[in-house]
Amino acid sequence: MKIQLISALLCFSALGACVDQADSTDDSVTADPRIATNGLVPTAIHPNSLANGALNGFAISGAKGMEDTADHRLFTAYLVGCALSTNQCVSSTYNGTTYTYCGVVDLAPAWTTRALTQSEIADVSACVLARANLVGMNVQISIHGDNAQLGCTSDELSYFNLEEAAFYGNVFTSTAGAKHACNGVDQVLYGDTIGDLPNRQCGQPDPNNPGYTLCGFVFDGNCADICSKSSDGDHYTACGAAAANVETVHVWDGR
């Protein structure tokens, strides 16, 4: 059975009341920040300048397109959730409404005091890309990577044992082709036939748009062909042009 969800940490509040994201979906995580749901439609991901300075409410409300729509507020929530820790929240006011975005994964907790480093940009970006979902469906995933916050437990390996895809790139830049993915070994082997693989599409090639995934990310091929694995075989450490900051997603096998 799936690991039980016990808290809804990545959410934003409107007018002081905590609500389920912008689209009223339940974006919950377990006590382990590596296990999270994903409901971010890929079209909501857009370039922004937030990485260039300390993260605070003024920076968020002053950045173009971070809070003007429900999808953009959801994107902001995912950025903050991937970067900050569970005891960090940032509030901003947009058009008279206050939104509070809280951390989850803890990949760049110092962002509240300074600009992101290039490594942090890549870590946060990979996390956001990993949590995108073509149809905005919330599916529990396990994110693995080199960052210490993405270490994996034995229970996690047992329940989330299908390798779906790996993600890497930059969600902050306007440079074309900056968001990348490759197809995981189990997705290639089984296709959309078992567990939660049918509910995850962002690492799969788009037959109608060669060179890109169904979510519009650059498709670099099958992960097994282009990536190097960690010494324990748990996740990929480099894929194609990405020498580091790759994050590998595993999903539930349906048992």
The model's confidence at residue 249, banded by pLDDT at 50, 70 and 90, is: very high
> Tokens for 25?
């979906």
Question: pLDDT per residue over 155-207, tens digit each?
Answer: 888 889 999 999 999 999 999 999 999 999 999 999 999 999 999 999 999 99
* Token reading at 252: 């539930």
Pairing verdict, β 179-183 and 218-222: parallel
Torsion 52-150-36-186 (CA) sign: positive
- pLDDT tens by residue, 206-240: 999 999 999 999 999 999 999 999 998 889 999 98
Strand partners of residue 228:
238
Task: Provide mean pLDDT across the span 106-111.
Answer: 98
Lowest mean per-residue pLDDT among 5-9, 15-19, 52-56, 75-79: 15-19
Mean pLDDT, range 126-140, rounded to an integer = 93
pLDDT tens digits for range 34-89: 445 567 999 999 999 999 999 999 999 999 999 999 999 999 999 999 999 999 99
Kind plus residue range of the DSSP H or E element containing 123: helix 118-130
* Secondary structure E strands in 69-159: 89-94, 97-102, 139-145
Instruction: State the Rg of the chain over Cα.
Output: 17
Task: Using the predicted structure, report yes or no on whether residue 33 has a pLDDT greater than 70.
Answer: no
- Provide the pLDDT for residue 9: 27
Element (H, E) at 12: strand 12-14
The token pair that represents 35 in the structure block: 């296990």
Nearest to 165 by CA among 181, 153, 141: 181
Burial class of 5 by CB neighbour count within 10 A (0 to 12, 13 to 18, 19+): middle
pLDDT at residue 146 greater than cutoff 50 = yes
